[in-house]
């Protein structure tokens, strides 16, 4: 007996997608400040401003891709895309985060060169452009703050928060350069901010790779799910258990559940209990369950196949998936 979450109309709580208008406004704001900071970076000879402009440029790309992923994710499922485009956001988050890491590495290398070969910086110009970037990036981040649980929008939000922090650090370094004529501050701030952004971006890369590799979601304890399933009345054992993520919010599960031999109506109640528990405790809305009886055969084609019988007699063998599913003896000819 099989039951799939696709036929169940109950769904786990989902964070609504960010309104398109907010993403578009954030994108336009970042495009403006990017152009201004590029000009300011060359005028003031500030690596800090140019690094901030680079991060803002990556924001423009990130927000554009995020908007594309949000719209793509709304498309319905098709016969060739049975899960629709739920993982579009994961691919975008991976790309955005990889770009952030690359930019951070480049800025750190340039900053080290500035430390070894100091160059004059116009501190007052740096302060002015950096404060403008701080205001715009903070405004854009606030527009997306309600959607930080979405990996795609979280990567875009992180871009904006990182740039706001960069702008603040650049403004402070510009103030130090202006007041004390200490040009090292510009490079030091660039290194510190780039290290922080790179660390956060790498964490998102690790999470997106886990989703793409269909690993167990970080929010779910595999053994806890198995234990919770076995605690349901009538459930004897669980094997061939798999848990993975379809997107930032959609979790899926498949399992073979060994139950006591019972009437179909009783098995239906057991299935309802299983699916209700998975949804309530673990927010797993898409569950596909294969029910097996303790003395029956293992359901599905992915179980351990029976051993070939000898010429003299056929000996029954046990599946390796837990010992509860018994294959019937095979007869010759």
Per-residue burial over 287-304, b = 16 or more CB atoms within 10 Å of its CB, e = otherwise: bebbbbbeebebbeeebe
Which pLDDT score, from 0 to 100, does residue 332 have?
Answer: 34
Which pLDDT score, from 0 to 100, does residue 227 have?
Answer: 93
Distance, in Å, from the CA atom of 85 to the CA atom of 71, rounded to the nearest integer, reads 10
Question: Which residue carries 């596909």 as its tokens?
Answer: 288
pLDDT in tens, the chain (333 residues): 555 544 443 333 333 444 567 778 888 888 888 888 888 888 888 877 877 777 777 778 777 877 777 777 778 888 888 787 878 878 888 887 888 888 889 888 988 988 898 878 788 888 888 898 888 888 888 877 766 556 666 767 777 787 788 788 888 888 898 888 888 888 888 788 788 878 878 888 998 999 999 999 988 999 999 999 999 988 889 999 999 998 877 899 999 999 887 766 788 888 899 999 999 999 898 898 988 876 666 655 555 544 444 444 444 444 434 434 333 333 333
Identify the structural domains of the chain with CATH numbers, from first to last: 13-212 (1.20.1510.10), 222-293 (3.30.70.1350)
255: helix, strand or coil: strand
The two beta strands, 2-3 and 235-245, are: unpaired
235 Cβ neighbours under 8 A, 6+ residues apart = 229, 257, 258, 259, 270, 274
C-beta neighbour count of 173 within 10 angstroms: 30
C-beta neighbour count of 93 within 10 angstroms: 30
Which pLDDT score, from 0 to 100, does residue 223 have?
Answer: 93
C-beta neighbour count of 13 within 10 angstroms: 8
pTM for the model:
0.66
C-beta neighbour count of 119 within 10 angstroms: 12
């Amino acid at each position: 007996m099989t039951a799939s979450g696709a036929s169940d109309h109950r769904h786990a709580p989902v964070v609504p997608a960010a309104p398109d208008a907010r993403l578009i406004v954030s994108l336009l704001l970042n495009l403006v400040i990017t152009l201004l900071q590029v000009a300011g970076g060359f005028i003031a000879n500030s690596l800090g401003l140019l690094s901030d402009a680079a991060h803002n440029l990556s924001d423009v790309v990130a927000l554009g891709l995020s908007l594309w992923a949000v719209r793509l994710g709304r498309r319905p499922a098709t016969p060739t895309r049975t899960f629709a485009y739920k993982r579009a956001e994961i691919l975008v988050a991976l790309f955005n985060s990889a770009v952030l890491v690359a930019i951070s590495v480049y800025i750190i290398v340039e900053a080290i060169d500035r430390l070894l070969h100091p160059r004059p910086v116009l501190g007052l110009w740096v302060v002015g452009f950096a404060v403008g970037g701080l205001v715009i990036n903070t405004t854009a981040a606030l527009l997306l703050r309600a959607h930080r649980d979405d990996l795609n929008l979280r990567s875009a939000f992180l871009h904006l928060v990182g740039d706001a922090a960069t702008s603040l650090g650049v403004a402070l370094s510009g103030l130090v350069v202006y007041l004390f004529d200490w040009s090292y501050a510009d490079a030091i701030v660039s290194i510190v901010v780039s290290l922080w952004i790179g660390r956060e971006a790498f964490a998102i890369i690790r999470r997106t790779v886990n989703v793409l590799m269909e690993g167990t979601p970080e929010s779910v304890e595999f053994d806890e799910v198995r234990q919770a399933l076995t605690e349901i009345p009538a459930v004897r054992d669980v094997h061939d258990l798999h848990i993975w993520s379809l997107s930032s919010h959609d979790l899926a599960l498949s399992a073979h559940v060994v139950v006591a031999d019972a009437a179909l109506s009783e098995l239906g109640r057991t299935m309802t209990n299983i699916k209700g528990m998975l949804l309530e405790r673990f927010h797993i809305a898409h569950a596909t369950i294969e029910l097996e009886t303790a003395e029956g055969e293992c359901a599905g084609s992915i179980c351990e196949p029976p051993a070939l019988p000898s010429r003299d007699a056929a000996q029954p063998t046990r599946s390796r998936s837990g010992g509860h599913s018994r294959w019937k003896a095979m007869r010759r000819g």
